[in-house]
Structure 1
Amino acid sequence: MADRTHVTLQDVARAAAVSPATVSRVLNGSANVRDDLRARVQDAAGRLAYAPNAHAQALAGASRRTVGVICHDVSDPYFAMIARGIMRVAGDNGLLVMLASTFRDADREVAYVSMLRAQRAPAILLIGSGFEDKSWERSLAAEIDPYLRGGGRVAVVSRHRSLRVDSVLPENREGAAALAKALLEMGHRRFAVLAGPRDLTTVSDRIAGFRSTLASAGLTLSEEDIVEAGFTRDGGYDAMNTLLTRGLAATCVFAVTDVMAIGALSALRDKGMSVPGDVSIAGFDDIPIVRDLTPALTTVALPLEQLGERAMELALRDSGRRRRILRVAGEVVIRASTGRVPPGN
């Protein structure tokens, strides 16, 4: 009799003249195996006294209780708050959350989805902007589509145009449009924008919404008025310095995310400039820290934890083949970082 401590699944596959995948399906009780192949595998496993690895089985079982969450950068409070909501709902349902950061690398996002497919995670959540990239869209769909056909669940937060999956959509375009309207009502007529990478759908949507409202008021936001930098605090700092180097003409600067606005405030402070005395600053998201800044930041508030909660709830509830879309509005919150502009300025 063979030494069962050294018999592997691959040994059984060779003895039965089948693939390791077929052996795995037979030993896991799958019905999708021909009777003759099943008999060969069972006979080979018996002859070799094969015993499944208990540790591996435990890991496989654990993977079916683990939800994969893929975000751009967990150090960004925007994603941390959304992940908090996901974890609350997952915990209430006895699920463990595996969290991964792509650092806005589109290829890494596809690779992580592939890994989670291989581990048979019951659900995958993508929290963060999609990319304006056709190649990425095709690659991601090539991973997601067979995962869904195999019974996996997928939900996303933010716009992923190519994926026919459940979505929680912050109304980025509408929120930025509402912010522009509020700033116009405060008398501002000259604007600049600090933008993250333009290939992110969140960035493109927020710029488009802001620009459309200005256009309705007869104002033009030119490409020279938009400075692209990293979607981070340091990116905001560098972008603000770029504006200052060019000669700041705007009375109000809109940073498309709060973390960039925080960097912009620091850059202005380092130059000895006053906010909102010299220039007003506005952001987007309403991450917790911005209300405690000096001055507190005007922004578009999104219910970040609720975005995560709703996404996790969608992933847990089977909708058949019907795609569900939940739209979540933002609310303009005016704080001390924006001031009124006297008529004629």
Structure 2
Amino acid sequence: MALPADVFSRESDEQLRVLDADGTVVAPELVPNLDDEAFVSMYRDMRFCRRFDERMISLQRQGRIGTYASLAGQEGSQIGSMYALSDEDVVSYQYREHGAVVERGFPWEYLLYWAGHEDGHRALADRNIFPLNISIGDHLPHVTGVAMAMKFREESRVAVAHFGDGATSEGDFHEALNFAGVFDVPALFVCNNNQWAISTPQGEQTASRTFAQKADAYGFEGVQVDGMDPLAMYVVTQAAREKALDASNEAPRPTFIEAVQYRYGAHTTADDPSVYRDDEEVEQWRQKDPLDRFEAFLRETGRLDDEQIEAIDEESTDVLADAVDRMESFEADPNSMFEYTYAEQTSEIHEQHEQFQRHRETYGDESFLRE
């Protein structure tokens, strides 16, 4: 997709935007050439993300899953960017980008991870999604390495990293982007700038005007996008992907995308955001809500109506109810705790495993609950 020459400019603080906050098209030349079904499908996934988020927070408050990271407010960047990718592209995300999983089919097993079961990651591998990453920024070098492998193999796909603005302060961020720039790997680095790295605001995270301009230091292009505009995220991600795979270039080029948005809820369900920000700030950002603006656009263009939205909500409710039922009926194998620490069990782990087995055989599983 051809974009204006200055789309990847690092000199301007102006965010690339297709839809204004009220859903008005402000850049008609950038509206993607998608059929009506694709537009509605994007909205369906965004709306599902919001309902998924609400359901997960409710489950956590009831003690039915563990600590959870909310995505509310960030649906536009996640779904918009994912729709611009091929299913063969590899995605590695931090821990808040549940939209990547939703866009790739939302396997019910994903809930198992949040309920404490390692099996929750397995269903993602078949969808070219890496397990979520709790340690900040550690996945970025891996994405660069995967992209380098794709380059060596001459594969027509890219590796994509999603991460928060706080990750830009980690050494892994510098190492990954520096390596990507030096070796021209087909990687896309999507920084989800939601204004707060837990309780640290952007102004205390970096002295740069934008995060996007950091790409300049690594020798490739960066662009700042309205992350609450799914169409802007789509067109920029699509352009960056094409640039990474453009055979007419001397080499594939990575791109840094800064998606400017806001996290409505807490950093995680273990956080209290009222300590470091006020309700007025949150409300100001809610006026730019990605769901509201995209819905307004779809209604105005005759692609969406009340009946369709009602059907979407009913389907979402059914899918989530089924996923929760499956999660809560899942019976974990306690032996799995010994399987993934090392590729091959050490003598110490092997001995612990045998002791565990003997205890189970002698006293039964209920003994662990009593102890």
Question: What is the TM-score normalised by the length of structure 2?
Answer: 0.30
Question: What is the TM-score normalised by the length of structure 1?
Answer: 0.32
More helix as a share of residues: 2
- Structure possessing the higher radius of gyration over alpha carbons: 1
